[in-house]
Amino acid sequence: VPAFAQLGITEEEAQFLREQLIKEQLKDLQLEIAKLKRTIQSYNEESGQWLLRYIRRVAVSSNFLLGLWVFVARFVLHIKLRSRLNQILNEVLVKRKHAAYESLFRLTYEGILRALFRSSPLFLSAILLNRSSMLVRTLGLLLSCSYSLFLAFGVRFMPWVCWFNVLFTSAHVIARYYHQFPSFGSVQML
């Protein structure tokens, strides 16, 4: 005697119950698969975010460090061009003259302002590259690249460092565009 007959149900009812059980198990499996897909997608997005954050940090650091180097170089150049530095320091350290302190303060202040004027585009581009707006990032890219190229060709200030700055900044913006438009990565070259 079949087991379904002992329970007092017909064979058709037993078949229907088996189908319902299989459908419920299938639905549970589909939910589990969807959950696993979301977990994998979340993991992949976090992996892409890590690379994006790393490239952004490299680009921002490159702009900041080049700006710092330009600042220091311009400040030292300004101090060197003011040949009175030895005379002022002698008066400050040996004779302790008040006018010498003012002269030293003025020389330092002018040096900082001139150095900041020369390095501010790189500091500004480091800030702009960190923003979330595509337009602002593009402005940061243009500012960074154009000023780095000006430093490399116009002033001939450490050209290889300026080229690396252009490379890192461009890599950051390309990675951001790639991340915003994932279909861009699926385009294959012929």
- What is the pLDDT averaged over residues 145-163? 89
**42 CB neighbour count, 10 Å cutoff:** 10
Q: Whole-prediction pTM value?
A: 0.62
Q: Which of 19-28, 40-49, 51-60, 88-97: highest mean pLDDT?
A: 19-28
**DSSP per-residue letters across 111-138:** HHHHHHHHHHHHHHHHHHHTSS-HHHHH
C-alpha dist (Å) from residue 34 to 39, 46, 82, 146, 190? 9, 18, 71, 48, 35
Q: 98-128 pLDDT, tens per residue? A: 666 677 777 788 889 989 998 999 999 999 9
At 92, is the pLDDT very low, low, confident or very high (cuts 50, 70, 90)?
A: low
